[in-house]
Amino acid sequence: GEHIDALDWMGDSTKMRAHEKLDHFTVKIGYPDKWKDYSSLQIDPALSYYENQRAASRWFVQDNLSKLGKPTDKTEWGMSPQTVNAYYNPSTNEICFPAAILQPPFFNPDADEAVNYGAIGVVIGHEMSHGFDDQGRLFDAYGNMVSWWTDEDDARFRQKAQVLVEQFDEVEILPGVHANGNFTLGENIGDHGGLSIAFTAMENAIAGKDPGLIDGFTPAQRFYIAYATVWAQNITDEEKLRRTNTDPHSLAVNRVNVSLRNFGTFFDAFGIKEGDPMWRPEEERVHIW
């Protein structure tokens, strides 16, 4: 909420509607109160994996078709508790964090606050920010697809979003192949907002305390190291190309190295200055949420 209040590009009437939407978020954590009934799904050990997979796919299609014309069940989860992921659903204005993501490297009850805010904190902020990204912002607090933006604020949002598009467009992921800033815009806004929200939350959490150095790193450094650790991966060139063409998320390396270059707190944490490879001049950075 304090991030909305601090926005210098958004007018008061739109801020009021943004607060309304934020206040109406439904939060789902861990596992559902009501379990999905799979009793009619037949899995036969005598059949092949492929045949059982087809049977499961048919069951899920029929399950979805059975909901047509019926009231929306807002208690239903869009992911199983065993899924290492999270989501925001604009039509129900809900954020969901299954039990499986509440473990290292995303969440560690034995870790310090900075590490957890840099990992699961950014994930939480990311999903919250989806409610206000290029697609989520088209839905109101009640999941209706109606505009709640003034024309002026809408134009300013688009202008800022275009800067983020261009930052990713200029990244060459393979010789002659560039990232697609438009295709990944929603997820990049999610990362951008998540980083901003979670860093502020960490600062609020440790205010008045003196965490000191842990393993030689400050809280700010540990926050950003934790974020980068979440997205560390090995990936082939073929998979880079496939994901660039099909995945609305940016490649993991760019979720770190491109996103972080918009944050002065990142530069301050590691003493990054003009001339260093990660440096981005202040006038070229973008701040949306």
Distance CA 178, CA 221 (A): 30
Q: Is there a catalytic annotation at residue 20?
A: no
Alpha-helical regions (H) of 28-170 = 49-65, 113-116, 122-130, 151-169
Place of tokens 């999610």: 190
Neighbours of 164 (CB within 10 A): 23
* β-bridge pairing 87-89 and 177-178: unpaired
Find out whether 195 and 258 touch, Cβ atoms under 8 Å: no
Q: Are strands 26-30 and 94-98 parallel, antiparallel or unpaired?
A: parallel
* Residue 252 tokens, joined: 């993991």
Contacts of 225 (CB under 8 A, 6+ apart): 115, 118, 217
Catalytic-labelled residue, pool 94, 112, 133, 191: 191
Spot the catalytic one: 127, 133, 153, 187: 127
- The residue ranges of DSSP E strands in the chain, in sequence order, are 26-30, 87-89, 94-98, 172-174, 177-178
| Structure token pair of residue 231 | 């997205």
Task: State the Cα torsion 216-193-249-32 to the nearest 10°.
Answer: 100
Scanning the structure block, which residue is given the tokens 């998320």? 249
Q: Find out whether 97 and 107 touch, Cβ atoms under 8 Å.
A: no
Confirm whether 23 is a catalytic residue: no
C-alpha pair distances (Å), 263 with each of 57, 95, 256: 43, 25, 11
Residue type, 143: G
Task: Just list the catalytic residues.
Answer: 127, 191
